Amino acid sequence: MIITHHKGEFFKVSFGETTLAFNPISKQSKILKTVKFGADIALVSLDHPDFNGVSEVERKGKDLFVIDGPGEYEVKSVFVHGVPTQSGYESKKGGDFLINTIYAVSLEGMNILYLGALKDKEAMDFKITEDMEGVDILFVPIGDGEVLSPSEAHSLAVSLEAKVIIPMHFDGIGSSASLREFLKEAGQDDAPVVDKLTLKKRDVDTYQGKVFVVQS
């Protein structure tokens, strides 16, 4: 499995001939630049330009399966379970907050938990992990207000007993200060910083709460 980060919460996860795009950035984003590539599956946590740029990961001649809300899905031997939580992002019409979908994804013998733009750790629905044999890779947002604080993000990661932890949101939307605070909370100020993370199941199984910072 190869993981690359394209700012914000936009991740490309590739394994074999299958490519997943998590929260691709839209051309309408006011603060982030998008990256175009062809994906087989796009997972969108909430309908906001910083997280929903599905058209940017479409490729002519290749079918794209879009998952943009709660439910259970099976595509190309990838199993996805999405559950709703409230985000810290208001709708364009104002007043109501957008729904954020947390995704549990099983592929290549590994279990991914992608928290999207989760705002409140107390809103985390731990039932989503009941069918998972542990969380192998956790994508957790850290920021200042609209998503989990660094201390909340670390506390939740510990509760989930994730083997590998990949922080997100700080790069482009949040701040590098929130990343530093998160790493301090985790006691991993020297966490590896990579532009591409390659993971194999046998290696992941040797980790417990190992943080990798993936930056493009």
- Is the separation of the CB atoms in 165 and 209 below 8 Å? yes
Q: How far apart are the first and last CA of the chain?
A: 17
CATH number of residue 198's parent domain: 3.60.15.10
* Interstrand relation of 78-90 and 110-114 (parallel, antiparallel or unpaired): unpaired
Owner of token pair 């997943």: 20
DSSP state of 128: G
Structure pTM? 0.95
pLDDT in tens, the chain (216 residues): 999 999 999 999 999 999 999 999 999 999 999 999 999 999 999 999 999 999 999 998 789 999 999 999 999 899 999 999 988 887 766 668 889 999 999 998 999 999 999 999 988 878 888 878 899 999 999 987 789 999 999 999 999 999 999 999 998 787 789 999 999 999 999 999 999 999 999 999 999 999 999 997
- Is the separation of the CB atoms in 140 and 119 below 8 Å? no
Q: How many domains, the chain?
A: 1
- The range of the structural domain enclosing residue 80 comes to 2-214
